[in-house]
Amino acid sequence: MWKKIFDWLDERLGLNDIYKNLLDRPEPRGNWWNTLGSASLFLFVLQGLTGIFLTVYYTPSPDHAYDSIQYIMEGVAFGWLIRGIHHWGASLMVIVVFIHMLRVFVTASYKYPRELTWLIGVGLLLATIGMGFTGYLLPWNQRAYWATTVGTQIAGSVPFIGEFILKALRGGPDLSALTLQRFFSGHIWMIPAILAALIGVHLFLIIKHGESHFPTRED
Amino acid sequence: MSEVSRREFIKVTTGIVGGIIGAVIGLPTVYYLIDPALREGAKEAWIPIGKLEHMEIGKPYPFSFTRVQVNGWERTSTSHGGFVTRNSEAPDDLFILNSKCTHLACTVNWSDNDQVYLCPCHDAKFGRQGEVLDGPPPRPLDRFDEFRVTEDGTLEIFYKEG
């Protein structure tokens, strides 16, 4: 019965082909360092899911942001777990993505024909840091407020266009409800959309090229 | 026992570990989402409004109380009030009016001089029993029909949301 349903679907969707090409592809003799990309992907999905669930209660307004997070932590069943995973997962994701980059650098996996995979990876690293930067403001506590004040000031120290960048980031000269709202929008819509698109291309390229062998003495 | 291939072992282990991770995150998440639906709001309660012995017979006795509604991190408090009028010494021979005007919900006051309830908003007048004497109200003042007197002589009314 199930076999029949599966065969019917497989004939039309090519499930077996997808499985073979995505998950059953040949790998070089690797080691655990090669799993960091998958770990990054897993963390991205985890952050996405917990983030979606957090928006059920989180309210991005100066009047409510802090209280809504207090409520998530103390009022809602398992709110502490969802936010805890999102909070620690964020730090972990930056670390894992960074070590992933180091691994690629050390094993020289960025070379021909994988230059574009590397460049897109740079975009992914920047987007991940952008997620960290925008997400840090959302609790709207003292630390978040002043970290963003300083962070946007640093961005504002760029010669000539600094003031423009600062105002664009803050949505005006000061940190305000506009800042919180645009950081929220960036955090849940814009940067995740960029991340997802880049991850798609990144994965396509990895599947197309296969994973690189570790360099040997001859290389 | 039959030999388990390395490939088979990895598959099964991945499935089990994945299942555990999914359950550990998934089940609390369901609870997290439906949590507000599982809470019981205090929609009704017995509210003490005063000692019976302090209420003069035949004279409306004013009382007021506040209800706090908690929604998430927001607390809304609403004030309520009314008047108790005792007809005789008998503990249950009384009626309790809601002081909320039936026109636009302003609070009416008892006027000793005119022996009527006056609404400050549109000059409505209600009689001692709450009946409309003058002004725009569509119906007499509402009553708290459910009340009880406790053993120590405190009058309590049953308050129900809405």
Between B28, B32, B73, which is nearest A70 by CB?
Answer: B73
Tokens of A1: 């019965």
Mean pLDDT of B105-134: 91
Chain B CB contacts of A78 under 8 Å are: 28-29, 31-32, 35
Q: Which ipTM did the prediction report? A: 0.84
Tell whether the model's pLDDT for residue B69 goes beyond 90.
Answer: no
Query: What are the CA-CA distances from residue A11 to residues A4, A21, A155, B30 (Å)?
Result: 11, 16, 54, 35
- List, in order, residues 6 or more apart from B1 with CB less than 8 Å away: none
Residue A216 lies in a domain: no
Contact A202, A17 (CB under 8 A): no
* Chain A with chain B: Cβ pairs closer than 8 A: 41
Residue A27 lies in a domain: no
Contact A111, A209 (CB under 8 A): no
Q: What is the CATH number of the domain that holds A81?
A: 1.20.810.10
Distant-in-sequence contacts of B84-91, Cβ < 8 A, 24+ apart? B84/B49, B84/B50, B84/B55, B84/B60, B84/B155, B85/B58, B85/B59, B85/B60, B85/B61, B85/B128, B86/B52, B86/B55, B86/B56, B86/B57, B86/B58, B86/B61, B87/B57, B87/B58, B88/B57, B89/B57, B91/B52, B91/B149, B91/B153
CA closest to A47 among chain B residues: B25
With CB atoms and an 8 Å threshold, state whether A77 touches B31: yes
Residue A197 lies in a domain: yes
Burial of residue A17 (number of CB atoms within 10 Å: 0-12, 13-18, 19+): exposed
Count how many domains chain A has: 1
Second-level CATH architecture of B44-160:
3-layer Sandwich (2.102)
Contact B37, A77 (CB under 8 A): no
The identity of residue A14, as a single letter, is: G
Burial of residue B126 (number of CB atoms within 10 Å: 0-12, 13-18, 19+): buried
Q: What is the pLDDT of residues A122-138, one digit of tens each?
A: 999 999 999 999 999 99
The alpha-carbon gap from B16 to the nearest alpha carbon of chain A, in Å, equals: 16
Tokens of A219: 């290389």
**B1 vs A: CB within 8 A:** no
Angle at the Cα of A90 from the Cα atoms of A88 and A94, rounded to 5 degrees: 120
With CB atoms and an 8 Å threshold, state whether A82 touches B29: yes
* Among B residues 81-140, those touching chain A with beta carbons less than 8 Å apart: none
Sheet holding B94-98, edge to edge: B61-71, B74-86, B94-98
Residue A13 lies in a domain: no
Chain B CB contacts of A19 under 8 Å are: none
Give the per-residue pLDDT at B38: 87
The alpha-carbon gap from A84 to the nearest alpha carbon of chain B, in Å, equals: 12
**B31 vs A: CB within 8 A:** yes
Between A50, A67, A76, which is nearest B35 by CB?
Answer: A76
Tell whether the model's pLDDT for residue B4 goes beyond 90.
Answer: no
The alpha-carbon gap from A77 to the nearest alpha carbon of chain B, in Å, equals: 5
The alpha-carbon gap from B18 to the nearest alpha carbon of chain A, in Å, equals: 11
Chain A CB contacts of B41 under 8 Å are: none
Distance CA A23, CA A61 (A): 43
Contact B57, B94 (CB under 8 A): no
**A45 vs B: CB within 8 A:** no
For chain A, give the percent of residues with pLDDT over 90.
80
CA closest to A66 among chain B residues: B73
CA-nearest of A132, A114, A103 to A195 is A132
Residue A68 lies in a domain: yes
- With the C-alpha atoms ordered B113, B115, B118, B124, is the resulting torsion angle positive or negative? negative
Between B25, B31, B73, which is nearest A71 by CB?
Answer: B73
Mean pLDDT of B46-66: 89
Q: What is the pLDDT of residues A134-181, one digit of tens each?
A: 999 999 999 999 999 999 999 999 999 999 999 999 999 999 999 999
Residue A10 lies in a domain: no
Q: Tell me the pLDDT of chain A averaged across its residues.
A: 93
Contact B28, A77 (CB under 8 A): yes
Chain A CB contacts of B29 under 8 Å are: 49, 53, 78, 82
Task: Map out the domains of chain B as residue ranges.
Answer: 1-39, 44-160
Give the per-residue pLDDT at A198: 98
Residue B92 pLDDT class (50, 70, 90 cuts): confident
Residue A77 has what DSSP assignment? T
With CB atoms and an 8 Å threshold, state whether B28 touches A67: no
Q: Which of A21-25, A86-90, B49-53, B135-139 has the lowest mean pLDDT?
A: A21-25
With CB atoms and an 8 Å threshold, state whether B28 touches A81: yes
**B73 vs A: CB within 8 A:** yes
Chain A CB contacts of B38 under 8 Å are: 77
Distance CA A135, CA A186 (A): 9
| CB neighbours of residue B78 within 10 Å | 10
Would you list the DSSP string of B108-125?
A: PEEETTTTEEE-TTT--E
Give the per-residue pLDDT at B162: 64
Domain around A141: 34-209
Give the per-residue pLDDT at B1: 59
